[in-house]
Structure 1
């Protein structure tokens, strides 16, 4: 079941909220009710994998209790290895078998299996829990509480990867689920639905026109390649931003504040800042449970660069079992190494780095680097990714649709003097793609984020737990107009219109891009 579906919006969510309200004051039955709703939500996609989810919950709960009472490294390694083997079989076995058979020429009888929904998310979430049990950072929880922590439906499918210390105290609270929570949650959910159903799905066809058609990516030139990749960059931006808002909004209706998972990443001025804003909880997991255990930056520059590359390579592989994802992770690892070297070389330029021109250049370079990597993330094969990246670099020349040139009175001979050619692609599609890109760019760099818009209402966990976490991400490079929600008739009408536009755009429901990782 998807957040952007009639079944969720008009059936499961209202029924779950009604049951939660009726059970106010009875903590035990509220936990059981929400757990049942979450398991139903999960089973809607494919009931055959519900026993798998329940088995992992039971196994990790038992192992966590044992680690909490008698922490030993062999037991920790056994528990973590079991989780990694599970995700390895379902997500990576086919990839490895395919590559081995390609190298050896041997035949394989391995049958690909469907990837269980959200396996990457609930596996990492439980590995973090096991590590904290071993380190003595976890309290004793009941099986029902733990099961709800893992499977709570607003964050089950695509995160955020929540930490038990963030969620468990809220689950146990007797004051959650007020009318104010409902109002704030519904507003955030409506904004997320609009981002997904109207903005992300609206620009998606212009990205698909490049990536899904061999004739397009094989013959792409500079402008067409960049138009398609920029369109995809905004598609995944608003898709993931929309999902993150809908997850936070749905949870807030129950009085639960989820942590931030997305905070204006295209305003980042460095790659490391990008990862502090994009998939924030995954970045936190990779830092705390992979990069730091590998040694972090404690053993010199060479070890730090190695650890960065390993972390990002595995982060890329986490996103998908394919060489395109591996190269995407490797690119980001290399970006981080280059950034480290640049920071060292310019350590004495502190004042210059605060100058507007420098900040703009830094944001632009980061944005371009991220989009070169997006080509590998989106492409269905290494060949298509390499062709598109080559075109983005200008190796295939520059051309414009001949229909556009004719409309503005230019001829092939005229523009050829500037090194620009003509092609037979659709001029209408090109113009609409550019208009979408310009409009979405204005939203990204001019409007406040959902969290900024509702900041005084503490829309996410970090806003009400500032003493327990680092400072919130800064606004980044951009204008961020001072629009803030207020309890007025004007904003009620605006949010209602936004919600209506999102719902009316659900005629063709599309999956979230992070739906099955």
Structure 2
């Protein structure tokens, strides 16, 4: 694709090539589901245009509802159809109604949650007239199906990508080098760190049905906390790198989230495009924090519960989102109760005390405090991952009990070497996140000597090649 994109062809031909490549990429998984992708694209393109020019408020509302029904209807059927039916049967049986329908066989289309949110934000923006409609069906189709972000994000909004399709683009030498480096880094995170070093321990612990020793339980939870980051951030990094190799810029999706100081900071760093989508299209329309503290807490909980459900058709995902909602509400309550500093403190001079003697201790104290807050945040996030990874509540409670009690079985698969391996990788991850929390990889690369960059890059490639046999599909492909 890279060679074809750099041939001396008309720009429209290159865009058609990219669109066809995107459809082939999606068809490699299950060809019939291209029809769903195509239907969502065409409906939202024409509905979006009509929404923008339609002066009648009632007709505009009807058009928006058509788009919402089309997109959310497909999402609900394919992703939540079985889940809704199972819960409906439970309710019927609880009411004394003997209802036992045949279990449906519904295949979940890859990436449906991602491209549904991508097209939804377009029609909602057209309804609010936040931006002008996309003029070309080709550009809109390419925006929705652009293969780097199609199946697992980042969730891209029209103003972030569509303008890049309007004029010819080809990667510069620097963009190509940066893109290849990010692609290598993303594959290294996925293949080496997530799959080779962490997944076996996480699978063994979360797949065990009995009570575990505290050490084994924590080894599995920490392994999954690292696995899901390296897996998902690895895909996002690789996707951004592939797009950059073609001359396109995708939005950042991760910013060292395990260095977050608090949970609002975490969601500004983890799956950034989803959290900003939920903020702009759900939390703010619900009222945000504009209607008092109680309504703010309600809006936060609704947003995080829906965010949890977005990840999967299981109540454990809802519990995961609910826990994050509780964390955010508690953090917000602490902010409300925290006394505001008087402006006089900032402007009153203190000539008697030397600033040189007082600033370093204050800085060190604040740094140590922030590190402790970051570790506490990570600890509480690890607890939420138990619900995210567990298939049932029984399994989640069993594992949580093992994490905080001393008695339990020792898994034969979890050797001392395996536990040490998890500890080293997770510790490295936390230290690296803290060091990098206020910068980016590409900024650091620009300051790194070429010879040392070459050594690190070569080592990543060698380790990827040696680890390829153990690679698995990306976790977020199921969402």
- State the TM-score, normalizing by the size of structure 2: 0.88
1:58 aligns with 2:58: no
Aligned twin of 2:102 = 109
| Local SS of the residue matching 1:206 | helix
Of 392, 417, 420 in structure 2, the residue corresponding to residue 381 of structure 1 is 392
The 3 A distance-change label for structure 1 pair 317 and 362 is: same
* Contact 2:387–2:393 (8 Å) recurs in 1: yes
Counterpart residue number, 2:205: 210
* CA apart distance, 1:434: 3.0
Q: How far is the alpha carbon of 1:47 from its aligned partner?
A: 0.6
2:138 is aligned with 1:138: no
Quick check: 2:169–2:246 contact (8 Å CA) kept in 1?
no
The runs of 5 or more residues in structure 2 that have no matched partner are 94-98, 343-361
Q: 2:7 aligns with which of 18, 22, 40?
A: 22
Cα distance between partner residues in 2 of 1:183 and 1:487? 15
State yes or no: 1:397 paired with 2:381: no
Deviation of 1:352 after TM superposition, in Å, equals 9.8
Which residue pairs with 1:317 in the alignment?
309
Cα distance change of structure 1 residues 370 and 353 upon mapping to structure 2, 3 Å threshold: farther
Deviation at 1:358, TM superposition (A): 2.1
By how many angstroms is 1:117 displaced? 0.7
Would the alpha carbon gap of residues 316 and 54 (structure 1) be closer, same or farther in structure 2, given more than 3 Å must change? same
Q: Provide, for residues 343-400 of structure 1, a one-character-per-residue CA deviation record: whole Å limited to 9, x for no partner.
A: 22334489899712321221122111111100000001111011112222x2x3257x
- Look up the match of 1:3: none
Q: How does 1:118-137 map to 2 (within 5 A)?
A: 118-136=111-129, 137=131
Q: Look up the match of 1:13.
A: none
Q: 2:429 is matched with which residue?
A: 443
2:359 aligned partner: none
Matched-pair contact (CA < 8 Å) for 1:317–1:326: yes
What is the rounded CA distance, in whole Å, between the counterparts of 1:316 and 1:94 in structure 2? Answer: 17
Conserved? CA contact 2:213–2:410, under 8 Å: no
Deviates more, 1:198-207 or 1:135-144: 135-144
Structure in which a larger fraction of residues adopt helix: 2
The yes-or-no answer on 1:266 pairing with 2:277 is no
Q: Take 2:379 and 2:448, find their aligned partners in 1: how far apart are those partners?
A: 36
Residue 429 of structure 1: which of 415, 434, 444 is its match? 415
Distance 1:513 1:317, change over 3 A: same
Q: Tell me how far apart the structure 1 counterparts of residues 413 and 38 of structure 2 sit (CA, whole Å).
A: 53
Partner of 1:228: 220
1:249 to 215, 234, 241: 241
Q: Where does residue 145 of structure 2 map in the other structure?
A: 151
How far did 1:180 drift? 2.2
Given the two structures, how large is their TM-score scaled by the length of structure 1? 0.82
Query: Between Structure 1 and Structure 2, how many residues are aligned?
Result: 448
- In the alignment, which of 60, 71, 85 is matched to residue 73 of structure 2? 85
* Displacement of 1:504: 3.1
Q: Does 1:285 align with 2:271?
A: no
Structure 1 range deviating more: 175-184 or 342-351: 342-351
Q: 1:50-92, CA deviations, whole angstroms, 9 ceiling, x for partnerless residues?
A: 1111111111111111112216222212211221111000111
- 3-state secondary structure, aligned to 1:273: helix
Taking the aligned partners of 2:70 and 2:416, their CA distance within structure 1 comes to: 50
Q: Secondary structure at the match of 1:362?
A: helix
1:49 equivalent to 2:33? Answer yes
Post-superposition shift, 1:38? Answer: 0.3
The partner residue of 1:174 within 159, 168, 173 is 168
Contact 1:80 1:127 in 2 (8 A): yes
| Residue of structure 1 in register with 2:371 after alignment | 360
- On the 8 A contact 2:52/2:127 being kept in 1, the answer is yes
> CA deviation digits over 1:329-353, x for unaligned, max 9?
1111111001111222334489899
Bigger CA drift: 148-157 or 171-180? Answer: 171-180
TM-superposed deviation, 1:298: 0.8
Is the 1:189–1:246 contact (alpha carbons within 8 Å) kept by the matching residues of 2?
Answer: yes
- Separation in 1, partners of 2:377, 2:455: 37
CA distance in 1, matches of 2:364, 2:286: 31
Structure 1 residue runs of 5 or longer lacking an equivalent are: 1-15, 400-422, 457-481
Distance 1:424 1:504 in 2: 30
* CA-atom RMSD in angstroms: 2.3
